[in-house]
Amino acid sequence: MNKYHALEAAEVLKLLGSTEAGLSKREAEGRLLAYGYNELEKGKGVTALSIFLDQFKNGLIVMLVFAGLLSLVLRERVEAAAIFSILLLNTFLGFIQEFRAEKAMEALEKTAAPTANVLREGQELKIPAKDVVPGDILLLEAGDIVPADSRIIDVSYLQIDEASLTGESVPSKKVFEKLPPESSIADQENMAFMGTVVTYGKGKVVVTATGMKTELGGIARSIQSTREVQTPLQSRFAQLAKQIGAVAGFLIITVFVVGILNRALSVGKMVLFALALTVSTIPNSLPVIVTVSLAMGAKRLAKKNMLIKKLPAAESLGAATIICSDKTGTITKNEMTITDIFFDDQVIRVSGSGYEPKGNLYVGHKQISPKKLELLMRIGYLCNNAQLVEKQGRFEVIGDPTEGSLIVLGEKCSLDKAYLHNHFPLIEELPFDSERKRMTVIVRNKIRKRTEAYVKGAPELLLRVCDRVVEKGRVRRLTRSDREKLLRVYNSFAERALRVLAIAYRELPETKRYTVKNVERSLVFVGLVGMIDPPRQEVKHAVAQCQEAGIRVMIITGDHAVTTEAIAREIGLLKGGDLVLTGDDLNRMGDDELEEKIENVRIIARALPIQKSRVVDALKKKGHVVAMTGDGVNDAPALKKADIGIAMGINGTAVAKEVSKAMLVDDNFATIVKAIREGRNIYDKMIKSAKYLLSCNAGEITSVFAAIMMRFPLPLLPLQLLLMNILTDDLPALGLGFESIEEGIMKRPPRDPKEKPISNRIFLSIIVFGLIMGAGTLFMFSRYKDFNLSKAQTVAFTSLVMFQMFAVLSSRSLHPSLKKLNPLSNLWLLGGG
């Protein structure tokens, strides 16, 4: 790919065969034929039919179909009807949940730039964005979505929000000068990228790439080439289905052969009995229990602001061993907040977080009156183009987040907006540019009957044009020691990853024309304000919960390392020995070195999309179950590659939502921890039900198999086996799905991703229960078999049912003893039993 950012604008125009007047109509038509439409290739759409058919890609469902067909062979219509009803219920539940989630995702998607303003033969035209071609000259202004990757050739205070692509929380201030060839995408300030949003100013750009050739297109191609990952639940239960199928196959052959050899029944009846035993060996209700547990869990998660797009993801969250999270908007609020002010030789702390205008001012622990800072706050409020608005109880900033923080500060201190605008009306604005790195407004001070300039900007540059300072309400000369002290304070703020602005003003002489040269000189320095995008209040506790639960948290972001490290320390994420890497560090590492170091990495800053995918690959090779959160287009490939991709609901892009398996409705990291807790609970319930069902099946098999081996008559009739399969196996197993969450569920380490669906400990308990139930049933059967076979079979049936009632009680918990369980806490189980 050509490094257009490293070339002069004139060179780029020449290379693309264009001029500042734009392409001719004929040339544009030719290029459209040559390059194709400016749109991304769409993957296969998700239809209702495809969602429905996906429900059958499950070994347990296939096993259920087989059991239903066997029942039809046995002419057991009631059993067949019950099995196929379960099958339909299971399919319906899965289909409804995933279909609704898909529609919810579609409703949240927003279309990309539908039109573009272009220059063709010097004439400004509005055309469909898909008709834009390389070499086209585009005219951008505030509110536009950039339709294609472009090199900037002229700017007027142009700022573009590139958070969806780079992860940067602050809009990029654009320039037209060439930049170093090695500049990363986030640092290419002379480029505009497809899908990003113009927030301020105007610009003229020349299109360098369209469609799939853009940065966005490269990410789309990466998404399409990434295979969707099977969740841990799907792989484990596929394995369980194979194991049960193997046992069923072995049983049908063994029982049939031994039964014939022992002449237990005629060949015809023995075939029917073996088939009936196979049907009862297959835990028919297990698939629907799995689906019901997932659907109920998904419903509970939706109430907690986690929307599940793929049902198995509800449980997979509980298997996560590491959460790879974006920083901006997930760990943090994505709301720039002023936390510190240096004014009148004092550091003043500002309480409150985010855009909500609540907070106070403190020097040490003493609260101070905002009136002392009236001048600083007035300048910050008026030298500003942002607005603070309230929407549905939530405060938002329209405009630049940095300027928004100054508006919020004024609101916290109860500045009278109407008074300010009436008594300090705006005369003129000298907008921010990348060379001066400051903004100035000229206002009329009606109280003092004079004209004043209010200035804010980068401290190191603003100090150069200041020669006085405010101290104790008076103006005095700015000394060398003052400058040194102010720079020390500035550096101390910067070391804490605060974004720092300097505030200054000047009384102006009356003139007809105000310029940068005659206004921005001999300024009076007022103070410094330090701001940061603060972490969400709940995140520190959520990170601590993750650590207690044995789950690692890693921040992967496009933002700077210093800022990210400061946030990580504040939320308790960084400890001794933890590594902080950057995208450049990853570029210098081979895959082997990355795999070696990845276990100690807590932060990866300035990360590119392909690097996020590399990190996910390295973690998975280490055996981790990876939950990846993200909101931008840049997160999409890694979201798809992760075991559980989680998109952001508020700030998430349509691309991120499309490839994810789940979505955070409130964009809150703490919600993920709640979801992990629910995911562990879902898995526990499924294992409890599976343990009970397989224990019952083991008891039935043991009693029948032992009777045949001992040349006893059959202790159970085919009808009894089938009846037991529905009434005493399936219903109580469904009731176990309503058990409450066990204590200490978030104090257990994550289960081993390689762990079998039925662990060795649970398998041993199934065998023990099976032997006890089988032996007890056979003992009761043996006492009556020589007197009355029908009565003996009834006794055997009743005995086995009673044993199963004890088994279901013991299956209520996988960890604590039964003494800790309230016998009346699960009325669904009592009803089912």
pLDDT of residue 105: 43
Q: CA torsion sign, 705 to 709 to 710 to 713?
A: positive
More confident residue, 799 or 275: 799
Q: Which of 279, 95, 370 is nearest to 730 (CA)?
A: 279
HSE on the CB side for 187, CA within 13 Å? 15
Rounded to an integer, the average pLDDT of 3-13 is 94
Measure the CA–CA gap between 637 and 640, rounded to whole angstroms.
5
Task: Outline which parts of the chain fall under CATH 1.20.1110.10.
Answer: 229-314+674-832
Under 8 Å between Cβ of 690 and 244: no
CATH number belonging to domain 229-314+674-832 = 1.20.1110.10
Which of 243-252, 304-313, 393-402, 532-541 is most confident? 532-541
pLDDT of residue 166: 75
∠ Cα 391 103 108 (to 5°): 30
pLDDT of residue 108: 38
Task: Outline which parts of the chain fall under CATH 3.40.1110.10.
Answer: 337-532
- Please name the fold of domain 337-532: Calcium-transporting ATPase, cytoplasmic domain N (3.40.1110)
Distance of alpha carbon 25 from the chain centroid = 44
pLDDT in tens, 467-491: 999 999 999 999 999 999 999 999 9
Measure the CA–CA gap between 630 and 636, rounded to whole angstroms.
8
Distance of alpha carbon 683 from the chain centroid = 21
Lowest mean pLDDT among 449-458, 586-595, 724-733: 724-733
pLDDT of residue 220: 72
How many helices and strands, by DSSP H and E, does the chain display?
Answer: 30, 28
pLDDT in tens, 646-703: 988 877 777 778 778 899 988 889 999 999 999 898 888 888 888 888 888 888 888 8
Would you call 326 a catalytic residue per the annotation? yes
Rounded to an integer, the average pLDDT of 726-744 is 79
Q: Give residue 606's region: left, alpha or beta (phi > 0; psi -120 to 50).
A: left
Measure the CA–CA gap between 542 and 669, rounded to whole angstroms.
8
For the chain, the C-alpha Rg in angstroms (whole number) is: 34
Task: Outline which parts of the chain fall under CATH 2.70.150.10.
Answer: 4-43+112-213
- The DSSP letter of residue 748 is S
pLDDT of residue 109: 41
What DSSP string describes 581-627?
Answer: EEHHHHHH--HHHHHHHGGGEEEEES--HHHHHHHHHHHHHTT--EE
pLDDT of residue 812: 81
∠ Cα 227 228 234 (to 5°): 135
For residue 257, give both structure tokens. Answer: 């052969």
- Residues in CB range of 744: below 8 A, 6 or more apart: 815
Measure the CA–CA gap between 663 and 147, rounded to whole angstroms.
27
For residue 446, give both structure tokens. Answer: 């009606």
Rounded to an integer, the average pLDDT of 629-654 is 82
Three-state DSSP state, 48: helix
pTM metric for this prediction:
0.73
User: Of the residues 161, 326, 400, 684, which is catalytic?
Assistant: 326
Question: Strands (DSSP E) along 523-681, which ranges?
Answer: 523-532, 552-556, 579-582, 601-605, 626-630, 644-648, 662-664
Specify which residues 150 forms β-bridges with.
Answer: 192, 207
For residue 65, give both structure tokens. Answer: 């179909």
Question: Strands (DSSP E) along 227-377, which ranges?
Answer: 306-308, 322-325, 337-343, 346-350, 361-363, 366-368
pLDDT of residue 111: 35
Measure the CA–CA gap between 573 and 566, rounded to whole angstroms.
10
Rounded to an integer, the average pLDDT of 618-647 is 87
Under 8 Å between Cβ of 274 and 301: no
At which residue do the structure tokens 């400016």 appear? 38
CATH class entry, domain 4-43+112-213: mainly beta
